[in-house]
Amino acid sequence: MSEHLITTKAEIQACTRCRRITLHGISEGLTATVDPAPIARADEPAIHANGIPTYSLRAGRLDYRDPDIPPTDPAPILATHICPKLPEQGVFPI
């Protein structure tokens, strides 16, 4: 078996930048960090259009969802975590 395309169980982890709770794991050999709240299936095309990968949560694993393949399974859909924009320090309106 090849070790480079492994998929591991997702673990709850705080984001190192914004400290929000995320799910973190390896999906098909690549690191995946997602928000734990599922997204609506109807929102997935717009999320993909913005270049944000999505994953299905199956048996505790994060499985990458190909945006070109229509979803057929009932697994929850999770979007890649993006830290909220933080206010810029020391910038004042003129």
- The parent domain of residue 67 ranges over 11-79
Residue length, the chain?
94
Query: What pLDDT was estimated at residue 13?
Result: 96
pLDDT at 2 over 70: no
In a domain, 85, yes or no: no
- Asked if 25 and 56 count as a contact pair (C-beta separation under 8 A), the reply is no
Cα radius of gyration rounded to whole Å, the chain: 16
In a domain, 62, yes or no: yes
In a domain, 66, yes or no: yes
**Sequence letter at residue 20:** R
The Cα 75–Cα 56 span in angstroms is 6
In a domain, 67, yes or no: yes
Which of these, 76, 63, 4, lies nearest to 36 by C-alpha position? 76
- pTM above threshold 0.85: no
pLDDT digits (tens, 9 = 90+) for 17-50: 999 999 999 999 999 999 999 999 889 999 999 9
In a domain, 70, yes or no: yes
